[in-house]
Amino acid sequence: MSGILRRIPRSNAKFGLNPFIFRGVMVLAVFSLAVAKGGAGEKGEDRFGHHAYAEASQKELTRIGSYRGTRPVLMRTAAAQAFRDMVSAAQNDGVSLIPISGFRSIATQKILFARSVRRRGSELAAAQWVAPPGHSEHATGWVLDLGDKNRPDTDVEQSFEDTPAFRWLFKNAGRFHFEMSFPKGNQQGVSYEPWHWRFVGFSEASSVFYLSPNRKIQ
């Protein structure tokens, strides 16, 4: 976008465009870009309690598995080993953790959110269940939805909390620097998501969740 901004003033000088009209056109152009890219989130504000997050680049991501043999699950390469170590430790305790969903692009999130709006009737209602595009922790690549291999019926359901996998995670995930993003009664007001865990083992990761410029200290 900075390329566009740099080019326009030159053509402005060339054609002698009125500076007020020029400024108006620029404001409109920047606004349209923001809307096209997902609205207020691009400027870093919260939407319906969800914080704004930038999208990880493909080169920072690694495939860590697939969801029950279907779609691939990607996460930050830097956190992949911690995930593998956690899966092995759980396995040693007789618990089978599986990845359900990891990195999700803002474009994919847009589709999921629109679907949720249609189902729930409003953006406000939808946002209790699905983060608006540009506001999902999944875009950062530091986050995984986890499941119990033996309990597909609990995948991305609150009943996941009754599985051995959840009980194990609740007790042990912290050792591998994973924490639940949306526990019961979380201050963001997001619905309880026992399956959704974020990696906070490096300052690069934890700062994404704790030190965003517009984040209130809680």
Shortest separation between residue 195's beta carbon and Zn ion, angstroms = 7
Shortest separation between residue 164's beta carbon and Zn ion, angstroms = 20
**Which of 104, 151 has the CB closer to Zn ion?**
104
- What is the DSSP annotation of 167-190? HHHHHHGGGGTEEESS-TT-TT-P
* Closest residue by beta carbon to Zn ion: 196
Both structure tokens of 211? 């030190």
**Which of 80, 143 has the CB closer to Zn ion?**
143
**Which of 80, 139 has the CB closer to Zn ion?**
139
49, 101, 188, 193 from 210: Cα distances, Å: 15, 22, 13, 19
Shortest separation between residue 131's beta carbon and Zn ion, angstroms = 8
**Which of 192, 202 has the CB closer to Zn ion?**
192
Radius of gyration of the chain (CA): 20
Both structure tokens of 31? 């606004």
Give residues in contact with Zn ion (CB under 5 A). 145, 196
The gap from C-alpha 76 to its chain's centroid, in whole angstroms, comes to 12
Shortest separation between residue 156's beta carbon and Zn ion, angstroms = 8
